[in-house]
Amino acid sequence: MKNATVKKLLKKQDGQAAIEFITVVVVIFFFLFFMLSLSITLVVSDYIEYATFMSARTLKSMYSTDAVQDRLARQEFFKYAERVQGIARNFSFEIKQKEINDEQTWGVEASYDIDLFYLPPLFTKGGQPPSVIRLTAQAYLGRDPSFERCIQFFRGIAPGFGIDPNSGLVQQMADNAC
């Protein structure tokens, strides 16, 4: 009689271990994928911060004109950004000055979208994941005067020293001082 009761109880529990296993595995995989997504987000955001810094560094370097500085800074940023194009997207890049009269407040600001938690397209409506966040990276290192502005400056002060503003001496002064 005891054997029959035990067998009935065991029959009622058929498949329970499989259901428990599936439930636990789903929860573990959710946390595993979440941690993986969070790690990717953190690594990519650090990478974009570095790209922004390198762009600001390029902006700070002296080139022939301000327009060349701007173009090279933009190229530097997008050279880095294209490597993470599938993960981060919708980049906006802006060269700006925080305070109008302070040359040392020039810098760059970049914004981009990234998925905080990746969901396959099968689970999203309209192809846009619900966990997209917009992040911004900033770097302000200042801006060195362009060579063109240096020449203009030295041409402006040269007459005070008795130097012809169009002489080769102004060019040498700019080469050494800027």
Task: Return the amino acid letter for 47.
Answer: Y
Per-residue pLDDT of the chain (178 residues; tens, 9 = 90+): 567 676 666 566 667 778 888 999 988 988 888 888 889 999 999 999 999 999 999 888 877 788 888 999 999 999 999 999 888 989 999 999 888 888 788 899 999 999 877 655 556 666 666 778 899 999 998 887 777 787 788 788 878 777 777 777 776 666 655 6
Q: How far apart (Å, rounded) are the C-alpha atoms in residues 89 and 102?
A: 32
The residues spanned by each domain of the chain are 2-144, 145-178
Which pLDDT does position 73 carry in this prediction?
A: 92
Which pLDDT does position 10 carry in this prediction?
A: 59
Which pLDDT does position 103 carry in this prediction?
A: 77
Residue written as token pair 């997207």: 89
Closest by CA position to 155, among listed 61, 139, 147, 77 = 147
Which pLDDT does position 155 carry in this prediction?
A: 81
- The distance of Cα 12 from the centroid of its chain, to the nearest Å, equals 57
Q: How far apart (Å, rounded) are the C-alpha atoms in residues 35 and 29?
A: 10
Question: What is the SS3 assignment for 117?
Answer: coil
- pTM for this structure? 0.71
Closest by CA position to 144, among listed 170, 107, 98 = 107
